Chain A
């Protein structure tokens, strides 16, 4: 159903478009601009304290992050020097599938019963020298090939006595025959 419009649709569109921006600028606009022009950013009385506070906050955050991820030295029980264990890698954190490797194409992840949180990352420094607590003597092991002349002795396995199995004759039995046998 068409509705007659005396003003016309085009005029209504123009009026609507004009009204959408027909707002005078706020009184505060000129004053705010003047204030910012007369007091440029970075030169105000509060500029240095603000910048100083921002820098101090950034330094504190960086120090906190550094402290959280600091290398954790491991002290052996024998009282030897501190040794930093190797870094925990992504591979070492892979879940272990019981019963061997999983077939290819299948998910390997095993849902753990409990959630284990990863501790601080420990890294081994290249310059760290590991000094053993005491000297360990290792006896060398000699590997000699087997001689061909060596006789292989096989123990005889005792054989059990023969078992006679009498075959059982099985004949089909119908329900009628079974009923007759019961009645007799």
Chain B
């Protein structure tokens, strides 16, 4: 069953159909919230708010865009609202432990250690980016969304998203180079 069919059923009050939509898109919603908030519990609450709000506003969904794009816009707005709140300002910290999830390839333990070190510094450098650049980079590199979806979430043209991602990469690379991390020959 397609999203459009499920949406039609859900608008008629079919909670089961909406539950199917939640199953399909909760990962994308949660990752968008996590990219914005950088905190799992905050992202979970923002994702939950977004999904409930989507249910409440199904009547206003006109179908001009895909349901997923519409849902991601709601999720991003909820996450931004939460990020701007004063409580979030004090509690939000970037969990550096996320860098541990970076793949570790190489020939031996020393390579793995070096790669972990580089990944840790890359994470810190990404966290130090301005919110606009960081949001674009995290959303684009998540592998979950295309540039068009990122552009719809951020409400900017696709070209702007691409520029922000490129600029974010340049700044992170610059910071890493200052620490001695450069590409090998």
Residues of A participating in the B interface, judged by any CB pair closer than 8 Å: 1-10, 12-26, 28-30, 32-34, 36-38, 40
> How many chain-B residues does the 8 Å CB contact rule pick out?
56
Report B37-73 residues with CB < 8 Å from chain A CB. Answer: 38, 40, 44, 47-48, 51-52, 55-56
Query: Of residues A13, A14, A15, A20, which shows the largest number of chain B Cβ atoms within 10 Å of its Cβ?
Result: A20
B142 A22 Cβ-Cβ under 8 A: yes
B123 A20 Cβ-Cβ under 8 A: yes
| Chain B residues whose C-beta falls within 8 Å of the C-beta of A8 in the assembled complex | 183-184
Known contacts A15-B103, A16-B99, A17-B142; A9 and B183 CB within 8 A of each other: yes
Residue from B23, B169, B184 in contact with A13 in the complex, judged by beta carbons closer than 8 Å:
B169
B31 A15 Cβ-Cβ under 8 A: no
B184 A19 Cβ-Cβ under 8 A: no
Report the nearest A residue to B106, measured CB to CB.
A6
The digit string for B8-22, where 1 denotes a CB below 8 A from any CB of A, is: 000000010011001
A21 B44 Cβ-Cβ under 8 A: no
Query: Of residues A10, A15, A18, A40, which shows the largest number of chain B Cβ atoms within 10 Å of its Cβ?
Result: A15
B138 A20 Cβ-Cβ under 8 A: yes
> By DSSP majority rule, is chain A's interface helix, strand, loop, or mixed?
helix
Add 6 more A-B contacts to A5-B181, A12-B118, A12-B176 (CB < 8 A). A2-B180, A13-B122, A13-B173, A15-B119, A16-B102, A20-B34
Pairs A–B under 8 Å by Cβ, sample size 9:
A7-B105, A13-B172, A16-B119, A18-B141, A20-B38, A20-B98, A21-B139, A21-B142, A23-B98
Q: How far is the CA of A3 from the CA of B138 in the complex (A)?
A: 26
Residue from A17, A24, A32, A38 in contact with B126 in the complex, judged by beta carbons closer than 8 Å:
A17
A29 B47 Cβ-Cβ under 8 A: yes
Known contacts A15-B119, A32-B48, A38-B15; A5 and B114 CB within 8 A of each other: yes
Residues of B participating in the A interface, judged by any CB pair closer than 8 Å: 15, 18-19, 22-23, 26-27, 29-31, 34-35, 38, 40, 44, 47-48, 51-52, 55-56, 98-103, 105-106, 111, 114-115, 118-119, 122-123, 125-126, 137-139, 141-144, 169, 172-173, 176-177, 180-185
Query: Of residues B15, B34, B122, which shows the largest number of chain A Cβ atoms within 10 Å of its Cβ?
Result: B122
Report the nearest A residue to B94, measured CB to CB.
A20
> By DSSP majority rule, is chain B's interface helix, strand, loop, or mixed?
helix
| Chain A residues whose C-beta falls within 8 Å of the C-beta of B102 in the assembled complex | 12, 15-16, 19
Q: How far is the CA of A184 from the CA of B78 in the complex (A)?
A: 112
Residue from B31, B106, B119, B141 in contact with A23 in the complex, judged by beta carbons closer than 8 Å:
B31
A7 B118 Cβ-Cβ under 8 A: yes
Q: How far is the CB of A116 from chain B (nearest CB, A)?
A: 37
B35 A20 Cβ-Cβ under 8 A: yes
| Chain A residues whose C-beta falls within 8 Å of the C-beta of B99 in the assembled complex | 16, 19-20
Residue from A3, A21, A29, A40 in contact with B182 in the complex, judged by beta carbons closer than 8 Å:
A3
The 4 closest A-B pairs by CB, nearest first: A17-B141, A4-B184, A16-B122, A25-B30
A37 B138 Cβ-Cβ under 8 A: no
B126 A3 Cβ-Cβ under 8 A: no
Residue from B27, B52, B172, B185 in contact with A25 in the complex, judged by beta carbons closer than 8 Å:
B27
B22 A9 Cβ-Cβ under 8 A: no
| Chain A residues whose C-beta falls within 8 Å of the C-beta of B180 in the assembled complex | 1-3
Q: How far is the CB of A81 from chain B (nearest CB, A)?
A: 53
B23 A30 Cβ-Cβ under 8 A: yes
